[in-house]
């Protein structure tokens, strides 16, 4: 890793990271503000329970229960929504790494510096990981802060902390193959489409696994099989096995990205 390049990347991207962190905090603020009145709406629980099981499963919800703020967070944010928001951050960041530098014509200048290629990728990758941790931490800290501010009781602090570790591992996995795609392809637009498409495939495979035995076997290779946010929140325990699998998945794809970028023929 090259610290000068890390500092430059942070300088270039901190506003981008802060915007996503702020957006996540604002979303949690809205949920915390409406929760007390939302909870008192007559018949709202019956409305949610009337939804088809396939509908709720698609949004990553195994059980609808709005009796607690933790459950509301699972319904409104920790399922599909947080994957879309932070996933878009990751893909936008990754597409601008190798493929983005090539398209902008800055890759020649970057590689002309006395910096090894693997250090270039690890430096930018470290900033991306830091952004993932920052945005996820901002989300969880907002749950603590706004929950206390609005007098919401029963929040599982250990559960949300466990969720944060699991979420960081999931997003590291998405970052791993997104960076690999950026190292392989020349056009950022194609990188974004391929990374988003692969993420969608993983998600749909996991969804279909609940209805098809063949897909259930394929689901062993889906990153979303190892992502159960509400189980972490409710139990308050860290799902070590799931986190280790996701981190190993991320490491394999990032290592492949290093090999590809190191061997890629780029004119300097």
Domain boundaries, the chain: 3-263
Mean pLDDT for the stretch of residues 205-212 = 84
- Tokens representing 71 are 């459950």
- Tokens representing 30 are 């809205």
Long-range (24+ apart) CB contacts under 8 A made by 201-210 are 203/80, 203/83, 207/57, 207/58, 210/57
The sign of the dihedral angle between the CA atoms of 208, 211, 212, 213 is positive
Between 189 and 72, where is the model more confident? 189
Name the DSSP letter for residue 78. I
Binning pLDDT at 50, 70 and 90, where does residue 101 land?
confident
Angle between helices 157-184 and 240-263 (to 10 degrees): 20
Separation between Cα atoms, residue 133 and residue 164, nearest integer Å: 8
Mean pLDDT for the stretch of residues 183-197 = 92
pLDDT at 63 over 70: no
Name the DSSP letter for residue 105. T
- pLDDT 10s digits, 153-163: 889 999 999 99
CA distances to 28, 60, 106, 246 from 138, in Å: 10, 21, 32, 21
Among the listed residues 124, 140, 5, 161, the one whose alpha carbon sits nearest the alpha carbon of residue 86: 140
- Tokens representing 146 are 């706004």
Query: Are 2 and 124 in contact, with CB atoms under 8 Å apart?
Result: no
Calculate Rg over the CA atoms of the chain: 20
Separation between Cα atoms, residue 49 and residue 45, nearest integer Å: 6
Angle at 28 between CA 159 and CA 223, to 5 degrees: 55
Q: Which residues, in sequence order, are CB contacts of 177 under 8 Å at separation 6+? A: 195, 198, 253
CA 183 from centre of chain: 20
Between 234 and 52, where is the model more confident? 234
Separation between Cα atoms, residue 20 and residue 90, nearest integer Å: 11
CA distances to 81, 135, 146, 170 from 36, in Å: 22, 26, 12, 31
pLDDT at 237 over 80: yes
What pLDDT shows up at residue 197?
96
Binning pLDDT at 50, 70 and 90, where does residue 51 land?
low
Other C-beta atoms closer than 10 Å to the C-beta of 186 total 13
What pLDDT shows up at residue 60?
61
Separation between Cα atoms, residue 127 and residue 116, nearest integer Å: 17
- pLDDT 10s digits, 125-148: 999 999 999 999 999 999 999 999
pLDDT at 190 over 70: yes
pLDDT at 228 over 80: yes
pLDDT at 253 over 70: yes
What pLDDT shows up at residue 268?
46
Mean pLDDT for the stretch of residues 64-93 = 86
Q: pLDDT exceeding 70 applies to what percent of the chain?
A: 87
Mean pLDDT for the stretch of residues 87-95 = 94
| Mean of per-residue pLDDT scores for the chain | 86
What pLDDT shows up at residue 4?
82
Q: Which residues, in sequence order, are CB contacts of 166 under 8 Å at separation 6+? A: 227, 228, 229, 232, 238, 239, 242, 243, 246
């Amino acid at each position: 890793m090259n610290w000068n390049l890390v500092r430059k990347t942070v300088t270039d991207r901190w506003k981008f990271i802060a915007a996503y962190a702020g957006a996540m905090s604002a979303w949690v603020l809205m949920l915390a503000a409406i929760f007390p009145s939302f909870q008192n709406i007559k018949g709202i629980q019956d409305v949610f329970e009337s939804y088809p099981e396939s509908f709720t499963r698609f949004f990553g919800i195994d059980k609808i229960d709005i009796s607690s703020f933790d459950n509301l967070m699972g319904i409104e944010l920790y399922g599909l929504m947080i994957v879309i928001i932070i996933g878009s951050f990751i893909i936008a960041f990754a597409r601008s790494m190798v493929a983005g530098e090539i398209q902008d014509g800055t890759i020649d200048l970057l590689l002309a510096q006395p910096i090894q290629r693997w250090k270039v990728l690890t430096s930018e990758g470290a900033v991306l990981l830091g952004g993932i941790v920052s945005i996820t931490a901002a989300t969880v800290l907002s749950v603590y802060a706004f929950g206390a501010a609005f007098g919401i009781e029963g929040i599982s602090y250990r559960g949300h902390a466990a969720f944060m570790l699991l979420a960081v591992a999931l997003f590291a996995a998405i970052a791993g193959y997104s960076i690999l795609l950026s190292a392989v392809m020349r056009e950022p637009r194609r990188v974004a489409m391929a990374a988003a498409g692969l993420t969608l495939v993983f998600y749909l495979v996991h969804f279909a696994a609940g209805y098809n035995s063949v897909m259930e076997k394929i689901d062993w290779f889906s990153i979303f099989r190892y992502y159960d946010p509400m189980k972490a929140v409710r139990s308050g325990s860290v799902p070590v096995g799931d986190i280790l699998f996701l981190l190993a998945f991320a490491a394999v794809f990032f290592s492949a990205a290093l090999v590809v970028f190191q061997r890629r023929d780029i004119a300097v």
